Amino acid sequence: VADGPGLLPSVPALDAGAMDAARRRWASRAEPPGALGRLEGLAVHLAGVTGMCPPPIIQRPAIVVFAADHGVVADGASAWPSEVTGAMVATMAAGEAAISALARVVGARVTVVDVGVGAPTAHLGGVLQRRVRPGTASIARGPAMSEREARQALTVGSDVALEQVTAGADCLVGGEMGIGNTTPAAALISAVTGADPVAVVGPGAGLPPERLAAKRELVERAVARLDRPTDPLRLLAEVGGLEIAALAGFYVRAAAGHTPFVVDGVIALAALCVADLLANGTAARAVAGHRSAEPGASVALAHLGLEPLLDLDMRLGEGTGACLAVPLLRAACQALTDMAELPSPSANPPKSGT
């Protein structure tokens, strides 16, 4: 991540020529104009991302789950203890998490990256060891980490994205596991969008309603320390998380490398908000996989100008919602590739009134 003016590579604009070619190609396919709805816009978008028309059909999607712990859990941010992060990393390593199952359905590989779990994970088969520090400090009491650590975590994400593409991945899906991480996600979304913490704080993984006000206060205390506008690296260090920083680097690298990528729920969207500040144009290359039930997700989607493909009332994280959108990306490209031209000139719809 040495190229580009700052920390990360710069992101090129979408390829307008490939997008125009995709629009023209749709207009001559054997269907009523626009009848495939959002699949058509999706294929146009992927043409812009890859610079190819039709965009290549995704063959090797890679799901990367970044895992880390959060000091703010000690302040009551979550219904679950931090130990669950390590337990869920072990569940993923065993192929028995939700994301393991969904990845099988879409034919994706799952890679788990320890970027900051509190418990040891080195004994677990296949968990990439990229730990920057064993969890953050509580964002309710001071900076989550140093700027140097935030930069390291960004680099972990960027490096892993590059490694996955080098290994053959043609679509990147970012996921996360980190008990307590809806709290820094809410803080980041509030800080970037200016939304009130009330609008972005939700129950996460099941915080009882009577504890929501306290969670909001944690977010308010964190955000209150920030100057606005805040440098994105400072944002990550002050109120972020290690897996969130890694996801931000992952997205910037995918965007810079013309690789399609699918964004998941509220944590992933918080990371994309920061990624877009780090490298302008990153969000314009994203595909929003789903609308998470966590309220901050909708705030971030609106801020980023993204309309998600799925809305299934999911709020699990791990990359599950983004993973489920992968067949839709494939379908968009496959249809634009395979569909015949209009069967014959006589099949053109008559002009109105004739």
Q: Tell which one of 174, 309, 319, 322 touches a second copy (CB under 8 A).
A: 309
Write out the DSSP string of 181-250.
THHHHHHHHHHHH---HHHH---TTT--GGGHHHHHHHHHHHHHT--SS--HHHHHHHH--HHHHHHHHH
* DSSP label at residue 285: G
Q: Tell which one of 53, 63, 97, 274 touches a second copy (CB under 8 A).
A: 97
- Measured in whole angstroms, how far is the alpha carbon of residue 245 from the centre of its chain? 11
Q: Please give the angle made by the CA atoms of 94, 167 and 308, to the nearest 5 degrees.
A: 75
**318 catalytic per annotation:** yes
Rule CB under 8 A: is residue 90 a binding residue for a second copy? yes
**Nearer Cβ to a second copy, position 199 or 310?**
310
Q: Which stretch binds a second copy (CB under 8 A): 131-139, 168-176, 201-209, 298-306?
A: 201-209
Q: Tell which one of 36, 77, 161, 304 touches a second copy (CB under 8 A).
A: 36
Q: Tell which one of 23, 141, 211, 258 touches a second copy (CB under 8 A).
A: 211
Q: Tell which one of 137, 199, 205, 284 touches a second copy (CB under 8 A).
A: 205
SS3 call for 333: helix
User: Within 212-231, which residues bind a second copy (CB under 8 A)?
Assistant: none
Sort strands 171-177 and 127-129 into parallel, antiparallel or unpaired. Answer: unpaired
User: In a 10 Å sphere around its CB, with 0-12 CB exposed, 13-18 middle and 19+ buried, how is residue 60 labelled?
Assistant: middle
Question: Over the range 2-13, which residues count as b (16 or more CB within 10 Å of their CB) and which as e?
Answer: eeeeebbbebee
Q: Tell which one of 5, 125, 345, 350 touches a second copy (CB under 8 A).
A: 350
Nearest CA to 269 among 231, 307, 221?
307
Q: Which of 147, 294, 318, 341 is catalytic?
A: 318
Report how many helices (DSSP H) and strands (DSSP E) the chain contains, helices first.
13, 6
Rule CB under 8 A: is residue 343 a binding residue for a second copy? yes
Q: State in Å, rounded, how far the first CA of the chain is from the last one.
A: 61
Rule CB under 8 A: is residue 345 a binding residue for a second copy? no
Rule CB under 8 A: is residue 46 a binding residue for a second copy? no
Rule CB under 8 A: is residue 125 a binding residue for a second copy? no
Residues that bind a second copy (CB under 8 A): 29-33, 35-39, 79-81, 83-84, 87-88, 90-91, 94-98, 100-102, 104-106, 205-206, 208, 210-211, 293, 309-316, 320, 324, 327-328, 330-331, 334-335, 337-340, 343-344, 346-347, 349-350, 352-353
Active site residues: 318
